Structure 1
Amino acid sequence: MGKKDKSETIKDTEVNETSNQDTQVEEISVEEQLKEELAKEKDKFLRLFAEFENYKRRTSKERIDLFKTASEDVMLAMLPVLDDFERALAHIEDDKEAEELRKGVLLIYNKLLTTLNQKGLEKLEVNAGDVFDADIHEAITQIPAPTDDLKGKIVDVVEKGYKLGEKVIRFPKVVIGQ
Structure 2
Amino acid sequence: MSKKDKIQGEALISEQDNIQDVQNEEVAEEIKKEEPTAEDLIQAEKDKFLRLFAEFENYKKRTSKERIELFKTAGQELMTSLLPIVDDFERALNHIEESPETEELRKGVSLIYQKFFNTLEQKGLTKIEVSGGDAFDAEVHEAITQIPAPTEDLKGKVIDCLEKGYKLGDKIIRYPKVVIGQ
TM-score in same-fold range (> 0.5): yes
Flag the 1:107–1:139 CA change in 2: closer, same or farther, 3 A. same
1:64 aligned to 2:68?
yes
In structure 1, C-alpha distance between the alignment counterparts of 2:164 and 2:173, rounded to whole Å:
11
1:171 aligned to 2:171?
no
Percent of residue pairs identical: 67
1:133 aligned to 2:137?
yes
Letter in 1 for 2:125: L
Shift of 1:38: 2.0
Cα-to-partner distance string for 1:80-135 (whole Å, 9 max, x where unaligned):
00000111111115555411111011000000000000011011111111000011
How many residue pairs get matched? 153
Match of 1:49 in 2: 53
User: What is the SS of the residue equivalent to 1:169?
Assistant: strand
Flag the 1:62–1:157 CA change in 2: closer, same or farther, 3 A. same
1:142 aligned to 2:151?
no
User: What is the SS of the residue equivalent to 1:136?
Assistant: coil
User: What is the SS of the residue equivalent to 1:158?
Assistant: strand
Letter in 2 for 1:99: E
In structure 1, C-alpha distance between the alignment counterparts of 2:118 and 2:51, rounded to whole Å:
49
Shift of 1:31: 8.4
Flag the 1:152–1:61 CA change in 2: closer, same or farther, 3 A. same
From 87, 91, 96, give the equivalent of 2:91: 87
Q: Which has the higher helix share?
A: 1
TM-score (norm 1): 0.80
TM-score (norm 2): 0.78
* More divergent stretch after superposition (87-96 vs 166-175): 87-96
In structure 1, C-alpha distance between the alignment counterparts of 2:79 and 2:126, rounded to whole Å:
11
Letter in 1 for 2:60: K
Cα-to-partner distance string for 1:15-67 (whole Å, 9 max, x where unaligned):
xxxxxxxxxx9xx8698532222222111111110110011111111111111
Flag the 1:129–1:40 CA change in 2: closer, same or farther, 3 A. same
Which stretches of structure 1, 4 residues or more, deviate above 6 A after TM superposition?
28-31
In structure 1, C-alpha distance between the alignment counterparts of 2:153 and 2:142, rounded to whole Å:
20
In structure 1, C-alpha distance between the alignment counterparts of 2:44 and 2:97, rounded to whole Å:
77
User: What is the SS of the residue equivalent to 1:41?
Assistant: helix
* More divergent stretch after superposition (76-85 vs 37-46): 37-46
Structure 2, unmatched stretches of 5+, are 1-28
User: What is the SS of the residue equivalent to 1:146?
Assistant: coil
Structure 1, unmatched stretches of 5+, are 1-24
From 121, 140, 144, give the equivalent of 1:117: 121
In structure 2, C-alpha distance between the alignment counterparts of 1:96 and 1:127, rounded to whole Å:
31
